[in-house]
Amino acid sequence: MLHFNIRTALTSAALGGAIAVAGTAATAVELRGWNIHVEDYPVSIAMESFAAEVAERTNGEITAKTFHNGVLGSQPDAIEQIRLGVIDFGEFSLGPMGQSIPETNVVSLPFIFPSIPDMYEMMDGEVGEAIGEGMIAKGIVPLGWYDAGARSFYNSVRPINTPADVEGLKVRVMSNDLFVGMVEAMDGNATPMAFGEVYQSIKTGVVDGAENNPPSYESTNHYEVAQFYSLTEHLIIPECLCMSLKSYEKLTPEQQEIVKEAGHTSALLQRELWQEREAASMETIAAGGTTVNTIEDKAPFQEAMGPVYDKFLADNPDLTDLVNLIRNAE
């Protein structure tokens, strides 16, 4: 199953359809969507296809307009706004969600997924269900899990081959204490910062670098200012096309079904587009003069993450089973 079984979780959240149905059937609804990426990014194209399917299948009763390029605000702010229903839908990394939805943090633990295919499989199964329930409890309904590949470090100072190479580097991280801990575990200096500020901050030396997947490193032009890209692949964080529970509840059951199905289809498209863009981004990066290095032995990085796991499990004992479910998966 590609996407989370929303019906089960919604029933257990005692929402039912009753409140939603009353009076909304014939009203035209215009949904506002948040997206941080540029318009030709795989996420953005998939969001447009989601909107097109929804409009077509509801005969224009629901239209969905996506605001690309982060014009509706930073990701941490947008996560709060979608919970409040100020924004109706959006595409989020589960990374910054961890500050308000603890369950999402399990996929922000460094090296938790052995590979990207494993991530897909687990997000499409029990792990995705558990995380989705946590999200719904906080007012966000997942419609489809999107791919964001693996994140690696880049900086303007030196290639990273071992955790010791991170020592002393000023590294921008997404807004989540887990990522601060991750960089500090290698004696780097972590700076949480909005995505949109990173280019200028690297350029002016406020930070030495950051970490991200190839399409984001490329589409933001970070590769022009931080020319060492070291393929640590330390984070495989899935992303989510999601809807505000408040907005979702205003739809009729039929409309909810359409929105879920369109979310599912858009995720299939996004995953395909992602593969293509990742390859294209690596080519652009290489042509732009970046020095890319692979990491022969990732074990020292994985070992360095011991304290990050210890702290996380000590702070969130109730998530131990979920962490183990991922770690022990065959």
Site residues (vs ligand BDP, CB under 6 A): 36, 75, 93, 148, 174, 195, 212-213, 216, 239
Nearer to ligand BDP, 41 or 250 (CB): 41
> Helices 116-123 and 126-137, interaxial angle, to 10°?
60
Q: Which is nearer to ligand BDP, 174 or 258 (CB)?
A: 174
Q: How far is the CB of 213 from ligand BDP (least distance, A)?
A: 5
SS3 at position 206: coil
CB of 256 to ligand BDP, least distance (A): 25
Closer CB to ligand BDP, 43 or 308, in the complex: 43
Q: How far is the CB of 108 from ligand BDP (least distance, A)?
A: 12
Provide the CA 267 distance to its chain's centre, in angstroms. Answer: 13
Euclidean distance between CA atoms 78 and 191, whole angstroms: 20
Q: CB of 226: closest distance to ligand BDP in angstroms?
A: 13
Distance in angstroms (rounded) separating the CA atoms of residues 64 and 66: 7
Q: Quote the least distance from Cβ 198 to ligand BDP, whole Å.
A: 7
233 versus 239: smaller Cβ distance to ligand BDP: 239
Question: Please, what is the Cα angle at 114 between 112 and 116, to 5 degrees?
Answer: 100
Q: In angstroms, give the least distance from the CB of 5 to ligand BDP.
A: 24
Q: Whose Cβ is closer to ligand BDP: residue 44's or residue 256's?
A: 44
State which residue, 111 or 195, has the beta carbon closest to ligand BDP.
195
CB 213 within 8 A of CB 235: no
Minimum distance from CB of 151 to ligand BDP (Å)? 7
E strand or H helix at 89: strand 89-93
Please, where are the H alpha helices in the chain? 6-12, 18-21, 42-57, 75-84, 94-97, 116-123, 126-137, 177-184, 198-203, 214-219, 222-225, 245-249, 253-287, 299-304, 306-315, 320-327
**Which of 96, 256 has the CB closer to ligand BDP?**
96
Greatest alpha-carbon span in the chain: 62
